[in-house]
């Protein structure tokens, strides 16, 4: 084995051991200390000054404990957070600042966990097409266990680390390691104003207004998606996309007024043993996110597939106990639509999310959700995410659960030095 490879193997071995044992470089220790201080600073606030966290906690305590109330409010607030995202990043021209630190050319690599990983995959798929550059996304653990292989395979020199909480240990450890790689520039993205990502990354973008009080990601997912769509539009000088994103919030407010209750009442009618979400291209990653929303909010069994892949085996589960949601794409809509009728004949219940409907789709869909937008497909992605958020919420409520506080989950997966999750807490 050539010396270079052996050296790399050893280094990788040391890197992995250090990362997994939670060994910290100085910035990370400093970062943790900064977090602890932050906690102490809050206690020293002047008497009578209500810290935001305490204010939020009082709102939580005062609001009648209606299951799913917070999650529903956050889902319906998405157009407002998109407006705030556009305004915030438009005002101080953060996007220009990002372009000064990061070149338009790739290869780019996104690193994240959970919904933030599916969000990263969605962005990577869109950027590859929009910017014509190599753009990948991996779960943070993939980078931690195969750091050099991941960088070699993706050729990444610019890495984006996405974490709504800014506390997910795998993401922070990845940022910690990347800081030791001189040739890499890192862009942190979080809804946490005080994340140690700030100290670990070359530049960090913060969206505190998009954070959720409840557990699962909804408006943080779509707001970060829109931020990167805006960044992509700026990179690609695509003014039509930028203008479409400007129009999206108002159009979505109207759309929610017409469709939110329709989706919620359909979801409340009955529950199924299996929930399937199908999507092609970038919609595949929205299908994965939709399946995760359904699982998190309702503890149901949900899976996501590439639409036409469903015929290659998974189709065996289609039947009266299966509800199948199609997120139809512009490129494959005609072929994807043929599958709807096939699965309906097998007894499955079908929900179809499509931009412009057709008589055939009306016939084959048990619930037809039409977006009705003239905007390009990218600009519709955030809206396309909403039906599954509402579906997961209602199925969870129908099962007597509280989607605001899902079973077994915490807002952030924080691991101890031994690699095991620290006790459940609201991060």
Nearer Cβ to ligand F1P (168/355): 168
d(CA 292, CA 6): 40
CB of 293 to ligand F1P, least distance (A): 9
> Is there binding between residue 215 and ligand F1P (CB under 6 A)?
yes
Residues 279-298 that bind ligand F1P (CB under 6 A): 296
Nearer Cβ to ligand F1P (31/114): 114
Determine which residue in the list 136, 168, 307, 329 makes contact with ligand F1P, applying CB under 6 A.
168
> Is there binding between residue 189 and ligand F1P (CB under 6 A)?
no
d(CA 105, CA 103): 5
> Is there binding between residue 115 and ligand F1P (CB under 6 A)?
yes
Closest CA to 347 of 272, 409, 290: 272
Give the interface segment with ligand F1P, choosing from 144-152, 158-166, 242-250, 264-272 (CB under 6 A): 158-166
> Is there binding between residue 214 and ligand F1P (CB under 6 A)?
no
d(CA 197, CA 171): 9
> Is there binding between residue 337 and ligand F1P (CB under 6 A)?
no
Nearer Cβ to ligand F1P (217/231): 217
Q: What is the DSSP string of 31-96?
A: HHHHHHHHHHHHHHSPTT---HHHHHHHHHHHS---TTHHHHHHHHTHHHHHHHHHHHHHHTTHHH
CB of 220 to ligand F1P, least distance (A): 7
Residue 31: count other Cβ atoms within 10 Å of its Cβ: 22
Q: What is the DSSP string of 305-325?
A: EEGGGGGTTGGGG-STTEEEE
Give the interface segment with ligand F1P, choosing from 151-159, 247-255, 391-399, 410-418 (CB under 6 A): 410-418
Report residue 122 as tokens.
């969605």
Helix (H) or strand (E) holding 158: strand 158-163
Give the interface segment with ligand F1P, choosing from 73-81, 214-222, 326-334, 339-347 (CB under 6 A): 214-222
Sequence length of the chain is: 427
d(CA 217, CA 225): 12
Q: How far is CA 243 from CA 344, 372, 385, 396, 400, in A?
A: 38, 17, 20, 36, 42
Phi then psi dihedrals of residue 139, to 5 deg: -65, 145
> Is there binding between residue 133 and ligand F1P (CB under 6 A)?
no
Determine which residue in the list 111, 151, 197, 217 makes contact with ligand F1P, applying CB under 6 A.
217
Give the interface segment with ligand F1P, choosing from 43-51, 54-62, 114-122, 319-327 (CB under 6 A): 114-122
Determine which residue in the list 114, 249, 392, 396 makes contact with ligand F1P, applying CB under 6 A.
114
Give the interface segment with ligand F1P, choosing from 88-96, 164-172, 257-265, 335-343 (CB under 6 A): 164-172
Nearer Cβ to ligand F1P (283/293): 293
Q: Which residue is nearest to ligand F1P, using beta carbons? A: 114
Q: Taking a C-beta distance cutoff of 8 angstroms, is the pair 364, 236 a contact?
A: no
Determine which residue in the list 70, 165, 194, 295 makes contact with ligand F1P, applying CB under 6 A.
165
Interface residues with ligand F1P (CB under 6 A) are 113-116, 163-165, 168, 171, 215-217, 296, 409, 411-413
């Amino acid at each position: 084995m050539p010396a270079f490879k052996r050296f790399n193997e050893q280094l990788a071995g040391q890197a992995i051991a250090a990362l997994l044992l939670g060994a910290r470089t100085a910035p990370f220790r400093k970062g943790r200390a900064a977090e602890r201080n932050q906690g102490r600073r809050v206690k020293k606030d002047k008497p009578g000054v209500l810290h935001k966290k305490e204010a939020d906690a009082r709102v939580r305590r005062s609001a009648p404990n209606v299951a799913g109330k917070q999650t529903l409010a956050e889902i319906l607030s998405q157009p407002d957070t998109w407006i705030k995202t556009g305004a915030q990043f438009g005002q101080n021209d953060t996007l220009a600042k990002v372009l000064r630190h990061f070149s338009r050319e790739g290869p780019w690599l996104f690193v994240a966990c959970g919904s933030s990983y599916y969000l990263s995959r969605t962005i990577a798929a869109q950027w590859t097409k929009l910017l014509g550059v190599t753009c990948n996304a991996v779960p943070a653990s993939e980078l931690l266990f195969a750091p050099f292989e991941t960088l070699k395979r993706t050729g990444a020199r610019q890495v984006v680390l996405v974490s709504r909480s800014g506390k997910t240990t795998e993401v922070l450890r990845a940022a910690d390691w990347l800081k030791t790689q001189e040739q890499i520039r890192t862009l942190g993205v979080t809804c946490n104003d005080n994340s140690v990502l700030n100290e670990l990354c070359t530049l960090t973008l913060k969206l505190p207004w998009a954070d959720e009080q409840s557990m699962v990601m909804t408006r943080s997912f779509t707001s970060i998606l829109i931020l990167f769509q805006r960044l992509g539009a700026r990179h690609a000088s695509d003014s039509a996309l930028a203008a479409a994103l400007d129009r999206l919030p108002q159009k979505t407010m109207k759309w929610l007024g017409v469709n939110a209750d329709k989706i919620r009442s359909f979801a409340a009618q009955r529950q199924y043993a299996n929930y399937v979400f199908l999507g092609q291209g970038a919609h595949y990653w929205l299908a994965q996110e939709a399946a995760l929303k359904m699982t998190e909010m309702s503890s149901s069994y949900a899976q996501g597939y590439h639409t036409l892949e469903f015929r290659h085996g998974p189709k065996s589960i289609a039947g009266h106990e299966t509800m199948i949601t199609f997120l139809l794409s512009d490129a494959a809509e005609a072929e994807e639509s043929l599958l709807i009728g096939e699965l309906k004949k097998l007894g499955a219940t079908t929900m179809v999310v499509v931009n412009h409907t057709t008589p055939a789709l009306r016939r084959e869909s048990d619930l037809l959700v039409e977006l009705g937008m003239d905007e390009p497909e990218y600009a519709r992605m955030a809206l396309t995410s909403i039906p599954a958020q509402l579906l997961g919420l209602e199925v969870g409520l129908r099962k007597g659960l509280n989607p605001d506080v899902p079973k077994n989950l915490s807002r952030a997966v924080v691991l101890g030095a031994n690699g095991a999750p620290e006790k459940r807490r609201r991060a």
